[in-house]
Structure 1
Amino acid sequence: MPPKPGAPLPNTALIPHTPSTRRLLSRLTKDLLLELVLSSWLDPAKTETYQPNFAPVEDEDDDDDEDDDEEGGRGIEKAREAYEAMKRRAVKGKEVVERVVEREWRDGLNLLQIAELDYSYLLSHPATHKWTASTLHPLNRPTPHTPPPTPRFHAPTFTSALAATLRPLVSTHTFLTRHPTLPLHLLRLQLHPHPPTPPLALPPPKRIFWLAFPTAAPGYVYHNIPAGGGDGLRDVVRESVAAAVSREHGRFELRASAMCARTLEALCFYRGGGGGEGGMVGVWSVYAEGVEGGPLDVLGAKRGVEVVQGEKGGEEEKRRRVAEGRFGGGARVGDGRGLESVEFVVEDVFPGDGEEGEEEEWRPSVGVKLEGAHVFAGVRSLVEAGVVFDGVKMPGWMTGEGGVSFGMVRDGVLVKRRK
């Protein structure tokens, strides 16, 4: 029985093979694809979910037909042996893909398999998407006796509410899991036209979204839903996310913050939610280490070092310690938390020429944009080398402690954020 128009699509709904599905398979390495096939798709307890086809292939040799067992010659044990042999032999990933497409899953891949392929690629290529850290802002005005509502994320409830909110417009398929290394709930949302007409087709990338909910920061939602662009459906998805979290007497809206990154590790580090110093970065990172005392006392005890002035080794060590104090445990090459671009608009008062009667101040807008594989790691390296940046006088927004990747600086202080 076909699903109702707009109703959630089941995991077992098939998508016939196309160049797009083959591309999903080919993106994974041979080892990753074999691990997925052997650990999940050919699990004897999950054959009803992944629906492998063990019937003989029409163009197989007669010799193969003689060895067929009563399930069609390629029962689950024989199929597992074949993939295990590929794992041991020096075969190319293309051969694994061809076997998947031409044998066990020649009828197509179901929606759960499509989602798992995408999820495996996300874990092996964490910089695949551009992530935005958004906040769930309460719409209910708090009273002196009523605190503002706190968003509560319950994965099954949210998934059902999101599908129900989008149901009048599209048919949805959701894939919910936990990130293996970060304290995040991950939700993959795939949108199909309604009513869904068989055979289903894999939607374009702009109709597939990822949402991440930090378990330790319930007010944040990390997502890869682009803003603007004239795509009304994306706006509907953002509004539906907030509506799915809302409840009676506690309504929310999704507001983008001034932080974008290429990896979830970077967002968790700079915005909180685990995977780093809990959003306390730069000079504030000492508090994430569980120390006590005032900022100056802490810095003196944790970051201070005696150096011999005038000696080369002493100056190098001094710069290294200054960089450690300004950047803390972050901003290191290869730490997986890099921001590829940061941009600020500086509006400071420009010194006047001293003419009498001059009262109007001049605040020119000066754009500062830094780009690279890991911007703050590059700034830290320059501080340690004593080139360009003075680690002592450098403003905090240049070290990442503001937790933003773009914003406005006025009189040396990050006072306003803008897109």
Structure 2
Amino acid sequence: MINDIYDTYIPPNYKKDIVIQKLKRLPVITLCKLIVEWISRFPLKHGRVNSHNIKDHLEILLKTKIGRPELAKLITLKYWNYGLNMYQLAQLDTMILLQHPKSYLWNSHRIYRTETDRFPALIIPNDFTRVLQELFQRQNQKCHIFYYRHPNLPLNMFRISLFELSRGDQHYIERTPFYVVFTVSKSPIIIHTHYRESDTYAKLIMQLIKESIMITSRVQSNSITSMNDTKDSAYITLKDEGSNPIKNLSNIYLTSGIDGTGNTVASWQSYSNGSSDVSPLSHPSKHQSIKGKEAITKFDDKLERKRKSMLRFHGKELDGEPVYDNDIPVEKIKFTIENHIDEEDPLATPIQINFSFTGKDVFGGIHELCDEGVIDIDKIPGWLCGDNGTKSGNVIDGDFEEYKKRGGLI
């Protein structure tokens, strides 16, 4: 019997057909990236494929137009025919979460030091993971924690899995994974998987998350040097403010205020990002009220265009340059545009136009075209910027509506 659930632990009861169905939900390019990372981290035990030739091997497969079902079977039946380990399964689930964001419900809690004083916690992933694992051990609860940095948002994501023994005490059974998300900077808000009040496992996870925040915050402030002193359980409290569950992590990130801007829009947004009030460390002569708006916004047209497109596409930068190759690319997407031309006759047949996009990264390519000025960034609609994730659908008079499922892929 193992003493803990390590990354290399392979659940014996994980059925391969379930894993294949999960793998088939990811694009081919994402699957290839996972294969390269997994082979470098967990070398294959059999076959001629290794970390040195895997990229060449995958390039040959891509030239043959290999699809997701074939690649999924290759992963489970050839590369890792003995089963995927906990690290691989956790990363696979996280990639699916990012690829299909509307399949998950989220809630948030606020951290308070007192009844009214919010506590902005700073979560350091390694410290938080270590402390949380030790707290689960104190509860004699087997767990596995997987950390992942969100590819587009400034968020630290933790996938927490709890295990219980099977009836025959022969192996562990994994319960439904629980996700908790923190911003990379200080914030009094925690985003987490939506759960029912009757879910005792979720309540235990939230309780130990609270204790982990208390312990790591104290260590950072040098008030204690170990995790043995936790008697002051009222140091912080987590309050659920009764918000309804929200689909899509990006939506709750924007609306919860986890980054300090969730409740500020339009002209008030400058107050949240500090561009309106003068900082004590800044020079008053450089403020907008002194220099004037025209002097501040006098940028090169191309740089201004790139800035706008970066905001519209929720993009990221590497060494100051935009990155168009997303971690979760959309390879195929379709839209049907319906516009009612005759406003006087609402029953008149609308004009329909179909758009189909295919490629290595559809929205990354559109983002690049906007940067180059081929597409007007000021006029492009949100559904062409990836605002609706990976979903295809109808755009009726400007409003997006997901296609109804018909039992097949679009």
With the shorter chain as reference, the TM-score category is: 0.5 to 0.7
Alignment of 1:37-48 (within 5 A): 37-38=35-36, 40-43=37-40, 46=41
Unaligned runs of 5+ in 2: 216-229, 279-288, 294-377, 389-393, 400-410
- Post-superposition Cα deviations, 1:212-253, rounded to whole Å, max 9, x if no partner, equal 10123421110014131x222221112121111124556222
Aligned runs of 1:14-413 on 2, under 5 Å?
14-16=10-12, 17-18=14-15, 19-38=17-36, 40-43=37-40, 46=41, 50-55=42-47, 73-77=48-52, 79-138=54-113, 151-167=121-137, 168-194=139-165, 200-201=172-173, 203-204=174-175, 207-228=176-197, 230-247=198-215, 251-257=235-241, 258=243, 260-274=245-259, 277-281=261-265, 284-288=268-272, 290-291=275-276, 333-334=382-383
> What do residues 344-399 of structure 1 show as CA deviations (whole Å, max 9, x unaligned)?
xxxxxxxxxxxxxxxxxxxxxxxxxxxxx99xx97xxxxxxxxxxxxxxxxxxxxx
| Cα distance in 2 between the residues matched to 1:197 and 1:20 | 23
Moved more, 163-172 or 86-95: 163-172
- AA in 2 matched with 1:262: K
The DSSP-based 3-state class of the residue aligned with 1:242 is helix
What is the Cα deviation at residue 54 of structure 1? 1.6
The offset of 1:32, in angstroms, is 1.4
Q: 1:216 to 1:280 in 2, by over 3 A?
A: farther
Contact 2:108–2:189 (CA under 8 A) maintained in structure 1: yes
* Cα distance change of structure 1 residues 197 and 36 upon mapping to structure 2, 3 Å threshold: farther
Shift of 1:286: 4.8
| 1:3 and 2:6 matched | no
SS of 1:103's equivalent in the other structure is: helix
Q: Which runs of 4+ in 1 moved over 6 A?
A: 335-338
Kindly indicate whether the alpha-carbon contact (under 8 Å) linking 1:169 and 1:194 is maintained by their aligned counterparts in 2: no
Which letter does structure 2 place at the counterpart of 1:172? C
Residue 122 of structure 1, CA deviation? 1.8
Shift of 1:278: 4.8
Aligned residues: 274
Q: CA deviation at 1:24?
A: 2.0
Look up the equivalent residue of 1:256 and give its one-letter code: D
Separation in structure 1 between the aligned mates of residue 28 and residue 73 of structure 2, nearest angstrom: 12
Counterpart of 1:42 in 2: which secondary structure? helix
CA-to-aligned-CA distance 1:317-361 (integer Å, 9 cap, x gap): xxxxxxxxxxxx9xx8547778xxxxxxxxxxxxxxxxxxxxxxx
TM-superposed deviation, 1:282: 5.5
In 2 relative to 1, CA 278–231 (structure 1 residues): closer, same or farther, beyond 3 Å? Answer: closer
Sequence identity (%)? 18
In 2, Cα distance between the equivalents of 1:199 and 1:81?
38
What is the distance in 1 between the residues matched to 2:196 and 2:63?
46
Cα deviation for residue 108 of structure 1 reads 0.2
- Following TM superposition, by how much is the alpha carbon of 1:169 offset from its aligned partner in structure 2, in angstroms? 4.5
Q: 1: distance between equivalents of 2:262 and 2:124?
A: 22
TM-score normalised by length of structure 2: 0.57
Q: Which residue of 1 aligns with 2:325?
A: none
Alignment deviations for residues 100-158 of structure 1 (CA, whole Å, 9 cap, x no partner): 112120000011101111121122222221111211222x579xxxx876534222222
| Contact 1:54 1:75 (8 Å CA) reproduced | no
| Partners of 2:248 and 2:151 in 1: CA distance | 14
Compared with structure 1, are the counterparts of its residues 199 and 33 closer, same or farther at alpha carbon in structure 2 (3 Å cutoff)?
farther
C-alpha deviation, 1:199, in angstroms: 5.2
Residues 176 and 197 (structure 1), Cα distance of their counterparts in 2 relative to 1, 3 Å cut = farther
Post-superposition shift, 1:288? 4.3
In the TM superposition, residue 163 of structure 1 has moved relative to its aligned partner by: 2.0
1:182 CA drift (Å): 1.0
> 1:264-317: per-residue Cα shift (whole Å, max 9, x none)?
22222223344x945413663353473469xxxx9xx99xxxxxxxxxxxxxxx
Looking at structure 2, the residues matched to 190 and 251 of structure 1 have their Cα atoms a distance apart, in angstroms, of 26
Q: RMSD of the TM alignment (CA)? A: 3.8
Which residue number in structure 1 is paired with residue 313 of structure 2? none
Query: Which structure 1 segments of 5+ residues have no match?
Result: 56-72, 303-328, 339-372, 379-419
Distance 1:333 1:77 in 2: 41
User: Against the structure 1 CA distance between its residues 137 and 336, is the aligned structure 2 distance closer, same or farther, given a 3 Å change threshold?
Assistant: farther
What amino acid maps onto 1:246 in structure 2?
M
CA contact (8 A) 1:161 1:244 kept: yes
The answer to whether the 8 A contact 1:242-1:253 is kept is: yes
The aligned amino acid for 1:126 is P
Deviation at 1:87, TM superposition (A): 1.9
